[in-house]
Structure 1
Amino acid sequence: MLIFGIPLQLLSTQILLGLINGAFYAILSLGLAIIFGLLNIVNFAHGAFYMMGAFGALLLLDHFAINYWVALIVMPLAIGLMGCIVERLILRRLYELDHMYGMILTYGMGLVIVGLFRNQYGATGLPYALPAALQGGVNLGFMFLPISRAFVLVASVAVCLATWLMIEKTRLGSWLRAATEKPALTEAFGINVPMLITLTYGFGVALAAFAGVLAAPIQSVNPMMGADLIIVVFAVVVIGGMGSISGAILTGFMLGLIEGLTKVFWPQASTTVIFVIMAVILLLRPAGLFGKQA
């Protein structure tokens, strides 16, 4: 069966791959949006934390026989704790300075982390054994859906939805939004704003680590995996609107799907289509699709 001259099986496969890429875009851009929304810092180390999540899962499996399912919980907690320490010891000193200092610091921190891992493990990708529960797939008739890919989609949607509900529908979320807009007034009500900021940064990088663990079984684990992805994720955040939670989620999945379809109809443009969209959006709506206009 052909659709616009394209075999249905090929079209369906590319849509699936686009949604999988979109799942990673959504989780990573969600973490970036949360951090920028409260700390007003563009976290250029986000890709490094994503890579550390994948490497952490691999090291847990190889050296301690800790399986994938435990790593999905342990690594985000560990990387999130590391993020809290980084915020308390380093980033907190920069809040009174120009925003450029935070960008330069996180960019340098990301380079150092990637360099350390590359020096230790080299640039060649390392395999992560696919868990038994994720092996095989389901024949949908028009395509074969690997269970591992389906799990990535389901887990990403669940985490993004849970994060959105927490921020938009809970008391903790209302505190976070209040601390973003009126920190002095929020602190006057007895809310520990500095602790909220620390936990927010930790949660944002924990999302990156969770995405890294998700990626470990379906792509090679290597020190550059975050650097290759984070450029696109920053474009996703800009298109959705800096600091917009719903914008980060929806734009991540939408652009992943557009990228997948572009590989079918115009393969040469698949690596640049997101950046072209970003340029157009910035010209028409500088705050992004879901961002607040100044």
Structure 2
Amino acid sequence: MTMIFGVPLPALLGQLVLGLINGSFYAMLSLGLAIIFGLLNIINFAHGALYMMGAFAAWMLLNYCGIGFWPALILAPLAVGLFGVVLERLFISRLYQLDHLYGLLLTFGLALIIQGVFRNYYGVSGLPYAIPQQLAGPVNLGFMILPMYRGFVIVFSALICLATWLIIEKTSLGAYLRAATENPKLVEAFGINVPRLMMLTYGFGVALAALAGVLAAPIYSVNPNMGADIVIVVFAVVVIGGMGSILGSVVTGFGLGLIEGIVKIFYQQGSSIAVFVIMAIVLLVRPAGLFGRAP
């Protein structure tokens, strides 16, 4: 049997695939954060709570309305995205001209309120959400048996990340968004409603977080603390990739998932801090992040 650093090759490949599953959620969540910060200059600390809301929205659709996973994959992000639009109009829009600290404090407070409301009604014990029947079986990859749903999560999240990057970087809509961030008055002169554009941008970033929550619901238990457990890691991913860098968030999210998988093989206890060690090294060597631009 082929060995790499004393580890059987099938075991190494299997751990890398499992790392990609975590990386899928890191990439999608950090992508939404990067869009909101890069285009709106808001540090959205409520992102984890909105991710949790996406999972709860899918759970509610199933248990209260009888709506299954596939419609929920569309309806839950739309519902949470609309909630994000309301937040942007009521609160976030007042902070665009202020220091980043105000946005961080406001969204941190919103996160605590949202988590508190769900904790009050549903407690802290996890609520089960069934894997869709079409994705319930295993897939034999030769070196491991992978649950079909987890393979779906990897592929689906990669496609969503790619599509989002193409929209932001390669379309006229993305050009308007970037221009509105740099010079909103000039963009308004071309007849574009900049406040509406920024409102929809925040809603889209929030919808990405909710979509990740729907995907996470069948894998992890649906509970009010699930966002708090992952948002710190996701912020580290964004810092490493470069604050506001769309490509950096996606590449770093998947890359750090793979690194976590490798670290688990050699030192399982260290996998939970590997991201933060890498973040410290990157900040020392390249403070703007791997894909960020120096100010």
Distance 1:228 1:9 in 2: 30
1:105 aligns with 2:106: yes
Q: Which amino acid in structure 1 is aligned with residue 15 of structure 2?
A: Q
Identity of aligned residues (%): 68
Cα distance, 1:130 vs structure 2: 1.1
Any stretches of 5+ residues in structure 1 without a counterpart? none
Q: Paired residue for 2:18?
A: 17
1:73 aligns with 2:62: no
1:116 aligns with 2:117: yes
Cα distance, 1:141 vs structure 2: 1.9
Q: Paired residue for 2:247?
A: 246
Q: Paired residue for 1:291?
A: 292
Q: Paired residue for 1:142?
A: 143
What's the CA shift string for 1:85-141, capped at 9, x where partnerless?
A: 110111112223322111101000001100111111111111101110111111122
Q: How does 1:207-226 map to 2 (within 5 A)?
A: 207-226=208-227
Q: Paired residue for 1:196?
A: 197
2:14–2:143 CA contact under 8 A, matched in 1 = no
Distance 1:288 1:186 in 2: 29
SS in 2 for 1:223: coil
1:180 aligns with 2:213: no
Distance 2:240 2:135 in 1: 33
Cα distance, 1:9 vs structure 2: 3.5
SS in 1 for 2:272: coil
2:11–2:143 CA contact under 8 A, matched in 1 = no
Q: Paired residue for 2:33?
A: 32
SS in 2 for 1:270: helix
Q: How does 1:40-59 map to 2 (within 5 A)?
A: 40-59=41-60
Distance 1:8 1:138 in 2: 19
SS in 2 for 1:102: helix
Distance 2:57 2:11 in 1: 34
Cα distance, 1:282 vs structure 2: 0.6
SS in 2 for 1:272: helix
Q: Paired residue for 1:64?
A: 65
SS in 2 for 1:138: strand
2:37–2:243 CA contact under 8 A, matched in 1 = yes
Q: Which amino acid in structure 2 is aligned with residue 114 of structure 1?
A: Q
Any stretches of 5+ residues in structure 2 without a counterpart? none
Distance 1:281 1:219 in 2: 30
Q: TM-score, normalised by structure 1?
A: 0.98
Q: Paired residue for 1:90?
A: 91
Distance 2:59 2:257 in 1: 26
What's the CA shift string for 1:58-98, capped at 9, x where partnerless?
A: 11111111000000000111111111111011111222332
Distance 2:120 2:14 in 1: 36
Q: TM-score, normalised by structure 2?
A: 0.97
Q: Which amino acid in structure 2 is aligned with residue 63 of structure 1?
A: Y
Q: Which amino acid in structure 1 is aligned with residue 131 of structure 2?
A: L
